[in-house]
Chain A
Amino acid sequence: AQTVTQSQPEMSVQEAETVTLSCTYDTSESDYYLFWYKQPPSRQMILVIRQEAYKQQNATENRFSVNFQKAAKSFSLKISDSQLGDAAMYFCAYRRSGATNKLIFGTGTLLAVQP
């Protein structure tokens, strides 16, 4: 069975600084997708970034980028130039290949941004 582990329950970063959230996963599949979702206090689940396992290039979306290490089964999220609006719970998620497969979530990392 696939599992996703986020070992940092809470993180804190100063505004304008960079922070990295960790995620590891376990799977025997070779083709899969990884995601980072953001959940602010409004409880919406917002897709931040996604990575296809077959792509070696790390995904980037503006201030958000990932470090995908397939052999190590590691998928960390880097937030650059942190903003107050980045404060939220961040979930790492895994999905087998195929858009209509279920997501398996980690336990989340609560990110605080200090002004």
Chain B
Amino acid sequence: DARVTQTPRHKVTEMGQEVTMRCQPILGHNTVFWYRQTMMQGLELLAYFRNRAPLDDSGMPKDRFSAEMPDATLATLKIQPSEPRDSAVYFCASASYGPQHFGDGTRLSIL
């Protein structure tokens, strides 16, 4: 079965460090989403791309977060500098004509 692949699965780092999370969408899917899951806010959309072009990044703190799709097989989400409040699970999902398929998420802990 085709799957969305996210790396790393876990990341622990100190406040102020740069964090990069990667996502490989399912081949042929033209839309990639980044969601963040926290206890307080639940699941919320950070940004998404269609055909590699950013469509909506209004859920993302612009001063420290950036999302890119350098090519159709890779999406990245960067945090610089990271803060303890960024600790969460970050999900990538991809879609084409059907429902969104989620990766297993990156659990990020900022100390």
Using a CB–CB cutoff of 8 Å, the interface residues on chain A facing chain B are: 33, 35, 37, 42-45, 47, 50, 91, 99-100, 102-108
Contacts and interface: CB of A to CB of B under 8 A. Distances in A.
A108 B33 contact: no
26 contacts: A33-B99, A42-B104, A43-B104, A43-B105, A43-B107, A44-B105, A45-B91, A45-B93, A47-B99, A47-B101, A50-B99, A99-B31, A99-B95, A99-B99, A100-B30, A100-B31, A100-B48, A100-B50, A100-B95, A102-B45, A102-B56, A103-B43, A103-B100, A105-B42, A105-B43, A108-B42
Interface of B: 30-31, 33, 35, 42-45, 48, 50, 56, 89, 91, 93, 95-102, 104-105, 107
B54 to A, nearest CB: 13
A99 B96 contact: yes
Nearest to B95: A99
Given A43-B89, A45-B91, A50-B99, A103 B104 contact: no
A112 B99 CA distance: 26
Contacts of A100: 30-31, 48, 50, 95-96
